[in-house]
Structure formats: structure tokens, C-alpha cells
């Protein structure tokens, strides 16, 4: 009987051994499956466009400083020595640039001095070489992360990128015998048990780094004996399957190290930026010890919440490093008194939210939501964050000003308050620089730039006038007399917003002063079907019907399409497609997607110039003339718009370099009791003054196919020398120039008039160069 017991025990142990081996094989397949696949879900990052600065450029100093702060530059009171440091004075900024890494180019950071002269950049000098720079590019700004359900933020690092001090600090804090055990440390458990009993409190844990990794990847936090046994077996199995350095690298990228609102900070790469604003490779001994000390309880020891508690924990790690012989006596003495100089952080919030919604809709046609949340893509956009900030602030101030000036506009319910929207584009490329789709994104996510349908009112008039340029000229005369039109058996009579006493006005005057009667007269002479075709050619997708009221913008448009249509005037007759996405790169920097500029010619350069010239008159002497009282003195073209009962107020203003559309109104169509010149135009002026770097002051270049002539503004014909009392210069298409002289003012010298007339006829016939 006694001899059978050892045999049974041996058999039992054999069964147990085989069972453990089978179980370990089973969990090895789990580990292999988990680690051979994508180990982490890395949220895709969305970036703004780069910022270019150069000597002679006008600049908004306040916006520029805010830009640098958002890019993570830290102010110091000495010459910058490390990347990301900034020293500012009243006349200059010394800046140690971050590395620049964007598609197709990379640049290491270096120190520069940017010197200012009032509102301009006077010079940019590279400090290490003392050489002037003609241009400087600042890195793009991160504007959004596509989070998965875990909302984890991390920057992956290889073990080679992690400084030795950080590795030693983490080993000292968590597992000093990591390279001497096989996943389970009996000595460590006994030491922790002794320390905890001696202090009658939990002072140390016995889990190795491998065990911690197992818990993070495979197990629940629930503490039970079966779970602990599984943890032990998985740790032992993992140590057989992977070498120590690979396990440590996975651990360094996995560990939880803090919280930024609802976003968790994972891995030492992300923690280094979160706490110290620098790459992990640049951490000092004290910074490394602080991060290592957080692993035990990141929020309990957070330097942003409990600085003194954090310092005590950091010093414990430093002493452990010294005890293990990993730092010297001198290094310990120097490190213990130092403070925890963290960089601070901004709670995550989606910047430019309406733009991001517009971009996200495009991205989701290319990538599923799960891919955006896990593949770690880098998405580069056209957004200019300084232009976006200027637009948001101008809209906020402008709507508040309108409510103060007219208490009837105030509404208590947030979702019913006065609304507005702004879209800013580069006319020649279609790049969207800024998009503000409403007053408060948190209240309403409805994007009034891309989703709203509103009547454009008078901002549609340029499309009526461009339809007429083959038969009419800016000097042609139109009727301003009252006239009744019958549409489907119903009479309709257009009225002018402002009193115009003349019975006839020129095309230039009719567009500049937004004369409704004359505009409808022009539309009826040109033909409503032609105007409908023009609207379609300019990309309006909403239904347009050939009614006389079409001339006054009495149909609905999408504001983004209206802005795009105006781009064709600013871009010399070439219309771009709205561009928000530039490139998409994978986590290794390979370009997956690149969006190219898409353009199409819709009118000739000459016709675009004629419309621009007339719309310049609109801002100098017409409905936009108040701009000169708001500090706007550079050349521009633009048009105000107001709909019936003041339901909508518009202003579209542009130069060859930038175009901005502003809309103001109520979502329910209630009256705002103000025209576009009082509601939308001041917002546009406030906005454009905040971005001087985008205003070059260049005007519209007169192209071939356009000629100048002196005409009589009363008749629209060529001016008679010494006859017409107030002759003016006018632009004409070269193949549509008036041939006759003003019949209202006869010259006192008929012979001279005949000779001059013959010469002008010959010149026009052969299209001699304009004198």
C-alpha cells in the first residue's frame, strides 16, 4: 500500500505537468496572437497647414505668440538652448525650432531670431550660422485626434530612443531584478511582504514588469487566486517566447501614466510630451525619475494635482536608483532639491469643429471609423489656425455687437440665438483656410456653411451681370423706372433698397449700388434661361428657376457653393474645387492619399477682370463703401447682400489672394433688422484686419482682351472731347467696345470730333494696343 503512494503521486504530478504544459501552450497561442497583431490602437492625428513667415511680412503679433504657445514653445528668460524654447522681447523673438516633419520634407530644429519693426517682420536670422533666412516654415499644429472607445493617446518609441536614465528609473521603481528573473521574482515578493508587514501598509508590490504587462494586456483587475495563478503562468510563458528587451519595450509603450480630461496618457513617449513638452530622448535624470514614480499611481502622484506628493515619490525613485548603484552620490545630491517644472497642458478639445466635421465626412469615404481610430495615420489639411481663430473671434464679437445695438435680436434659448457663419478660401487653389459653421458648436453642430440653404439676395447679382458681358458693357445704360412683371398670373414689382433718382443707370452703378430695378431689367434683356445656365456653370447645385426674382437672389444656395462661385472672379475666371485634405500618411510616413488642386475655367480672364472692377466700385462707392471707415484701405472687391424682410445678411469680399464670405441670420428665418452692410460687412472687416499676413495689397491685373476708354457716364458712349462735362475711364472687353460718341454733348469743334472718331474707329477695328 505504501509503495503505491509514490507511484500515484508521480502519476498525479505527471498529469499535472502535462496539464500545465498544455495550458501554457494554449496561453502561448493567445500571447502570440495578441502580440503578432497590431499591439495598440493609435488614434490618427489631424494637422493644420504649415505656417510660413518671411522678412517684410505684416503680422499679427498677438496671434503669432498664441500660435507658438499652441505649438508647444516654452518661454525662457535666457537664450534658448533646447528645441521648443522661446525668449521674447518687445522687438524680437529668439526661438529654438522644433524639428519639421511633413510630407516631402524634413528639417532639424535650430535657433533663429525673428526681429520685428512695428507690425512687420524686419529680419529672420539663423543664430548658429549668423545667416539671414528668406523664409521660415513653422511646423503644423495638431488640431484633432480620432479616438477609439478607449480614448488612449500614445506616441510609440523604440527601446533605442529611451534614455538609459529612464530605463534605470523604471527598473528601480518597479522591478530592479528584471534582467535576473524569468517573469516571477520570489525574492521580490518576499522583500515586498517584509516591507509591507514592517510598515503595516502596502508600500511595495511584488509583481514584475512582465506580470504587470500580462495584467494590462490579458487580465481583469479582479484579484482572485485563479487569476493570480494565470498571471504567473502567462508571465513565465511570455519570458520564454520573447527576450527581455522586447518585453521592456512593449511595457514602456503600454503603461498608463496619467489623464488629460477623458483621454488617458499611455507610454513614456506620450508622457514625456504631456509632462515636459519634449521627446523622451531628452529627459533629464529628475524628469525620468518623476515619470517612473507615476507608474505606481499616476493620478495620485500627478504633478498637475499633487506636486509635493509627486516630488516625494520622485525622490524615492532617485534614492532607489542610488541604492542600486545607478546614480552617484553627486547626482543624487543635485537631483533631490530640484523642482518639478512641468509644461502644463490644455484639455483636449476639437479645434475648428465645423471644419473637422466637414473633413471627417470626406475621410470616412476613404477609411472606416475603426481605421481612423487605430491606424495612427497623419492627416494634413489646408486649415490655417490663425485665420480660423480670427474668423471665430470676429463672428463672436460681431453677433454680440448686433445684439447690443438692437435688443430685439436677443433670445434667451441658446439654440434660437442669432447665428452667423464664415468661410475663408484661397481663390486660386480652393484651399479652405477657415470654416465657422455657427456661433457655438456645443449648442448646435449644424454647419451653416455646408448644410444650410439660404437666399443669397444681392450677392447673386454678379452672376447676372457676367451673363450679360457679351452684349452689354459696364457703361451700358439700364432702366431704373418702376416696372411690373407677371409671373404665373401674379404681378411682381421690384423695389430698390435705397432711393435712386435717375431713370437710367449704368451697369457699373447698378451693381455697385445694388439697384434692384436695373438688375431685373438687365436679366430680362439677357434672358432668364441664360442666367440659370450661368448659375449651373458656376456650380450651384440647388434648384434655380427662370423667374424675374432670380436676378435678386430669390432662390436658395449653399454658402460654400456661393463662396466657391466667387472664387472664379478672384482667380481670373478659373474655379477651384474646395480643398480641405492635403495628404494622408501611415504610421511609417508613407503617403497613402494626396489630394491635388482641381480647377476648371468657367469664364474668361477678361470677363473676370470686368466683374472684379465693378465689384471694386461696390466697396469704394457702393453698398460696401463703409469699409473705408473701418480701416480697410487695400484694394479689394466685394458685394453685400440682403434678403426680403432682412432675413439674411451677407458680405463676400476678396483679393487675388484670399476670399471670405460672412452670413448672418436666424435659423428660423426671423428678421435681423439690418442689411448686409451693417450686419455682415463689419464682421468681415474685423476679421480681415486680424490677418494682415494674408493681405498683400496687390490689385487685380488687367489681362489681354481688356481695353480702357473714356466715356460719358450720362450716356454710356465714348466721351466727346471738350463736350462731356464729367468723362470717366471705363474698362471694356476688346470685342465689345462702344463705337458711337455721346449724343448728349456735342463738341464745339466738329472737324476735330470727326478726325478723332475716325481714328478711334480704326484703332478699335484693328484692336490696336491700349494707349
DSSP H or E run through 662: strand 659-665
Query: SS3 for 472?
Result: coil
CB 649 within 8 A of CB 471: no
| Angle ∠(111,113,340) on CA atoms, nearest 5 | 55
Distances (CA, A) of 409 to 107, 483, 665: 52, 35, 10
Q: What is the rounded CA–CA span in Å between residue 547 and residue 389?
A: 40
CB 503 within 8 A of CB 481: yes
Q: Is 458 a catalytic residue?
A: yes
What number of other Cβ atoms are within 10 A of residue 658's Cβ?
A: 21
Q: Residues with Cβ < 8 Å from 219, sequence gap 6 or more?
A: 227, 230, 231, 234
Which grid coordinates belong to 679? Answer: 450686419
Catalytic residue chosen out of the listed positions 141, 152, 174, 270: 174
Q: Residues with Cβ < 8 Å from 588, sequence gap 6 or more?
A: none
CB 326 within 8 A of CB 168: yes
Catalytic residue chosen out of the listed positions 458, 467, 476, 514: 458
Closest to 731 in 3D by CA, of 707, 760, 751, 703: 707
Query: SS3 for 149?
Result: coil
Q: Residues with Cβ < 8 Å from 409, sequence gap 6 or more?
A: 402, 403, 418, 672, 673
Instruction: Give the residue carrying C-alpha cell 463672436.
Output: 396
Alpha helices for 375-457 (secondary structure H): 385-405
CB 694 within 8 A of CB 426: no
Sign of CA dihedral 351, 352, 356, 357: positive
CB 717 within 8 A of CB 477: no
Which grid coordinates belong to 335? Answer: 537631483
Query: SS3 for 27?
Result: helix
Q: What is the rounded CA–CA span in Å between residue 316 and residue 172?
A: 10
Q: How would you classify the pairing of strands 44-47 and 378-381? A: parallel
CB 663 within 8 A of CB 650: yes
Q: DSSP character for 344? A: -
Closest to 536 in 3D by CA, of 503, 510, 575: 575
Query: How buried is 325 (Cβ within 10 angstroms: 0-12 exposed, 13-18 middle, 19+ buried)?
Result: exposed
Q: What is the rounded CA–CA span in Å between residue 169 and residue 578?
A: 51
Closest to 85 in 3D by CA, of 100, 77, 74: 74
Q: Mind telling me the catalytic residues? A: 174, 458
Amino acid at each position: 500500500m505504501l509503495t503505491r503512494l509514490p507511484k500515484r503521486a508521480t502519476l498525479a504530478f505527471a498529469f499535472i505537468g502535462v496539464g500545465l504544459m498544455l495550458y501554457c501552450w494554449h496561453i502561448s497561442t493567445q500571447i502570440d496572437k495578441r502580440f503578432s497583431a497590431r499591439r495598440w490602437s493609435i488614434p490618427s492625428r489631424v494637422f493644420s497647414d504649415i505656417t510660413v513667415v518671411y522678412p517684410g511680412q505684416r503680422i499679427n503679433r498677438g496671434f503669432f505668440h498664441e500660435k507658438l504657445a499652441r505649438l508647444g514653445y516654452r518661454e525662457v528668460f535666457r537664450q534658448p538652448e533646447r528645441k521648443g524654447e522661446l525668449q521674447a522681447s518687445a522687438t524680437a523673438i529668439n526661438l529654438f525650432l522644433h524639428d519639421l516633419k511633413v510630407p516631402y520634407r524634413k528639417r532639424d530644429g535650430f535657433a533663429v531670431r525673428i526681429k520685428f519693426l512695428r507690425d512687420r517682420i524686419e529680419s529672420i536670422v539663423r543664430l548658429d550660422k549668423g545667416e539671414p533666412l528668406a523664409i521660415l516654415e513653422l511646423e503644423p499644429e495638431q488640431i484633432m485626434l480620432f479616438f477609439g472607445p478607449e480614448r488612449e493617446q500614445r506616441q510609440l518609441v523604440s527601446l533605442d530612443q529611451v534614455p538609459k536614465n529612464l530605463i534605470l528609473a523604471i527598473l528601480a521603481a518597479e522591478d530592479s531584478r528584471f534582467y535576473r528573473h524569468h517573469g516571477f521574482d520570489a525574492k521580490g515578493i518576499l522583500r515586498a511582504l517584509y516591507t509591507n508587514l514592517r510598515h503595516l501598509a502596502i508600500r511595495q508590490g511584488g509583481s514584475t514588469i512582465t506580470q504587470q504587462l500580462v495584467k494590462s494586456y490579458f487580465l481583469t483587475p479582479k484579484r482572485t487566486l485563479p487569476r493570480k495563478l494565470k498571471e504567473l503562468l502567462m508571465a513565465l510563458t511570455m519570458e520564454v517566447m520573447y527576450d527581455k528587451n522586447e518585453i521592456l519595450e512593449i511595457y514602456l509603450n503600454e503603461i498608463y501614466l496619467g489623464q488629460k480630461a477623458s483621454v488617458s496618457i499611455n507610454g513614456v513617449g506620450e508622457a514625456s510630451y504631456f509632462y515636459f513638452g519634449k521627446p523622451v530622448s531628452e529627459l533629464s535624470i529628475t524628469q525620468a525619475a518623476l515619470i517612473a514614480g507615476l507608474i505606481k499611481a499616476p493620478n495620485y502622484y500627478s504633478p498637475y494635482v499633487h506636486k509635493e506628493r509627486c516630488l516625494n515619490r520622485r525622490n524615492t525613485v532617485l534614492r532607489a536608483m542610488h541604492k542600486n548603484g545607478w546614480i552617484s552620490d553627486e547626482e543624487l545630491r543635485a537631483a533631490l532639491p530640484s523642482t518639478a517644472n512641468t509644461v502644463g497642458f490644455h484639455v483636449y478639445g476639437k479645434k475648428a469643429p465645423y471644419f473637422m466635421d466637414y473633413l471627417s465626412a470626406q475621410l470616412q469615404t476613404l477609411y472606416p471609423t475603426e481605421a481612423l481610430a487605430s491606424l495612427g495615420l497623419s492627416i494634413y489639411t489646408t486649415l490655417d489656425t490663425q485665420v480660423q481663430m480670427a474668423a471665430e473671434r470676429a463672428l463672436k464679437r460681431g453677433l454680440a455687437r448686433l445684439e447690443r445695438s438692437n435688443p430685439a435680436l436677443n433670445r434667451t434659448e441658446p439654440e434660437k440665438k442669432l447665428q452667423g457663419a464664415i468661410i475663408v478660401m484661397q481663390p486660386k487653389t480652393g484651399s479652405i483656410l477657415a470654416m465657422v459653421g455657427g456661433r457655438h458648436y456645443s449648442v448646435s453642430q449644424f454647419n451653416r456653411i455646408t448644410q444650410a440653404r439660404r437666399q443669397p439676395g444681392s450677392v447673386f447679382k454678379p452672376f447676372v451681370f457676367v451673363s450679360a458681358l457679351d452684349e452689354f458693357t459696364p457703361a451700358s445704360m439700364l432702366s431704373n423706372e418702376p416696372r411690373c412683371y407677371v409671373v404665373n398670373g401674379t404681378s411682381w414689382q421690384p423695389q430698390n433698397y435705397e432711393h435712386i433718382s435717375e431713370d437710367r443707370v449704368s451697369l457699373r452703378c447698378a451693381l455697385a449700388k445694388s439697384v434692384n430695378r436695373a438688375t431685373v431689367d438687365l436679366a430680362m434683356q439677357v434672358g432668364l434661361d441664360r442666367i440659370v445656365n450661368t448659375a449651373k456653370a458656376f456650380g450651384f447645385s440647388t434648384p434655380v428657376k427662370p423667374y424675374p426674382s432670380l436676378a435678386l437672389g430669390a432662390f436658395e444656395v449653399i454658402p460654400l457653393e456661393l463662396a466657391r462661385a466667387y472664387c472664379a472672379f478672384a482667380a481670373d475666371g478659373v474655379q477651384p474645387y474646395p480643398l480641405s485634405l492635403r495628404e494622408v500618411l501611415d504610421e511609417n510616413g508613407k503617403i497613402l492619399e494626396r489630394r491635388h488642386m482641381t480647377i476648371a475655367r468657367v469664364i474668361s480672364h477678361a470677363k473676370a477682370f470686368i466683374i472684379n472692377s465693378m465689384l471694386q466700385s461696390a466697396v469704394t462707392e457702393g453698398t460696401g463703401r463703409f469699409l473705408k471707415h473701418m480701416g480697410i484701405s487695400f484694394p479689394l472687391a466685394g458685394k453685400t447682400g440682403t434678403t426680403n424682410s432682412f432675413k439674411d445678411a451677407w458680405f463676400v469680399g476678396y483679393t487675388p489672394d484670399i476670399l471670405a464670405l460672412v452670413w448672418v441670420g436666424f435659423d428660423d428665418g426671423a428678421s435681423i433688422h439690418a442689411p448686409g452692410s451693417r450686419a455682415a460687412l463689419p464682421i468681415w472687416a474685423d476679421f480681415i484686419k486680424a490677418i494682415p499676413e494674408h493681405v498683400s495689397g496687390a490689385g487685380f491685373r488687367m489681362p489681354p482682351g481688356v481695353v480702357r476708354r473714356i466715356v460719358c457716364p450720362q450716356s454710356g458712349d465714348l466721351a466727346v472731347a471738350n463736350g462731356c462735362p464729367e468723362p470717366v475711364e471705363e474698362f471694356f472687353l476688346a470685342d465689345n467696345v462702344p463705337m458711337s460718341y455721346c449724343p448728349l454733348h456735342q463738341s464745339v469743334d466738329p472737324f476735330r470730333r470727326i478726325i478723332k472718331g475716325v481714328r478711334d474707329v480704326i484703332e478699335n477695328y484693328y484692336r490696336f494696343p491700349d494707349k
